[in-house]
Amino acid sequence: MIRRLDGGAEGRPERAWIEVGTADELRATGRLVARVGGREVGVVWDEARGTAHGLRNRCPHSGAPLCLGRVRNRESGLPGSYALAGERVLRCPWHGWEFDLESGRCLDDPALRAAVYPVEIAGGLVRLQV
């Protein structure tokens, strides 16, 4: 579900905190997505670490809805011999490229980076600073 949180870019202060849903929804679905001022943003939930991460819901590779990807451990190695690298990543749902949850850096193409946003969870609500 995508929430529409405003009627457009006009009148919205820069870097405002916006509510994108509840903590219960985030934990249950793994993600929250909202449209703010003409762009989609989202929060993904890392169940293994109990952390929330805000990103733009657009993959910088080819425009996939990045927040619909899976949060998982980064794998490294060669075909037939994979190992967990320990890094938690968001895997794009279209081509599987992986993005660092903290920085948005693409681990498969260092020239690409997904926009990231601060997230806070308080009083059962999830807020994103965009």
Report the nearest approach of ligand FES to the CB of residue 112 (Å).
Answer: 9
Contacts with ligand FES, residue ranges (CB under 6 A): 59, 61-62, 64, 92, 94-95, 97
Q: For residue 108, what are its two tokens?
A: 């498969």
Report the nearest approach of ligand FES to the CB of residue 96 (Å).
Answer: 6
The SS3 call for residue 121 is: strand
Q: For residue 58, what are its two tokens?
A: 């657009």
In the bound state with ligand FES, the residue whose beta carbon lies nearer, of 34 and 90, is: 90
In the bound state with ligand FES, the residue whose beta carbon lies nearer, of 64 and 121, is: 64
Distance CA 25, CA 104 (A): 23
Q: For residue 73, what are its two tokens?
A: 């451990």
In the bound state with ligand FES, the residue whose beta carbon lies nearer, of 52 and 114, is: 114
Size of the chain, expressed as the number of residues it contains: 130
